[in-house]
Structure 1
Amino acid sequence: MTGRRLTVEVPMRWADMDAYGHINNVNLVRMMEEARIGAFGVPGGTGLPRVDPAVDLFSRVGDDTQTLVVEHRVRYVRPLDYRNVPAIVDVWVSAVKPATFELSYLFRDPVDGHECVRASTTLAFFSAVDERLLRIPAEHRDALREFLGDPLFT
């Protein structure tokens, strides 16, 4: 299955680097968040976006709905060396379930193009009022399925 992938650029900051000159693993999770927001938008009720996302899926949830991270998976294929240019990240939807969905990320070195990191994030919508997970509304499921592609992890 090959869905539509979004490609975003995520800046690498000097402070993201570890003693070996690689992007530190903790900072890579922050970069996953930046890629997710760059691709699909700022979650509703969390402030104004800095830039327009490639596709606005998250800001259309209700004000009392939170978009929460359920799980991250990260596989380091090779070091992502610090560069003074943004990393290239492909982002797509790799699973849609009744109450959760998964995004996959493929990080590439912006200079030599090598694959560096494969990662995924499972997300869910949560009602702040009712304090429970919500089923994904039909319009969001349909929008997510436009980007549905193969998972990185099986």
Structure 2
Amino acid sequence: MSLESVRAWFAQYAPDITVEESDKSSATVPLAAAAYGVPPEQIAKTLSLRVGDRVVLVVTSGTARLDNKKARAAFGAKPKMLGVHEVADLTGHEVGGVCPFGLKDPLPIYCDVSLQAFDVVVPAAGSTHSAVRIAPRRMAELVGAEWVDVSEVRAEQAAPQP
């Protein structure tokens, strides 16, 4: 799985998108931002959550934090982060490379509205040294994601006031 499954997924569903590889690790938001030359908030991080008896993926802006109250309202139960081994078993991707593309098995995917502040975001691509550049709306369309508002955006990411 992982990088190979993501490459195959893009070859099938969006051949115009290139998976980029870096010799630098992109396993965390700050590392990914440095490796791909974008601000941390433009990294699209994928959270693997258990909500009641189901597992979901939530893609948010790199600097956004999951707001438990909003998430509980959106999903009907309090979300809990999956453990490292569960993430790899359920997604096919190791922590640091988790993305909504090329998953081992289909999972419900949600995109947080925090991503809509950007023309292009940079999610991982199945490994700790790979990513893609993609418009948030296109990403959501390609993976069949539902848009939700489940994060708390840090002040430095908030839109400037006129």
Q: TM-score range by the shorter chain?
A: under 0.3
Question: Normalized per residue, which structure has more strand?
Answer: 1
What TM-score results when the alignment is normalised by the length of structure 1?
0.27
Decide which structure has the larger Cα Rg and report it. Answer: 1
What TM-score results when the alignment is normalised by the length of structure 2?
0.27
